[in-house]
Amino acid sequence: MAEIDVVQDLESVSEQIQKLVAELQELDGNRQILTQQIQNLNGVAMYLRGKENPETTPLQAGDMANNDKET
């Protein structure tokens, strides 16, 4: 039967855990950066929608119903 080197196996597993924790922290940091960029872009999009010229925006279904009543 093969001998098990518990100390060596534990060191190996601990090293793998440390590497994976570091990778997870890096990925979480990247996720936070992407989340912030998306929120910033959503804010810019909302601002630009507010500045959009109403004459150049396409009519919505409700707008069409109101136009029919006026004529």
Q: What are phi and psi of 51, to 5 degrees?
A: -90, -10
Query: pLDDT tens digits, residue range 38-59?
Result: 999 999 999 999 998 776 656 5
How confident is the model over 21-43, as a mean pLDDT? 98
DSSP state for residue 2 in the 8-state scheme: -
pLDDT above 80 for 2: no
- Would the pTM count as exceeding 0.85? no
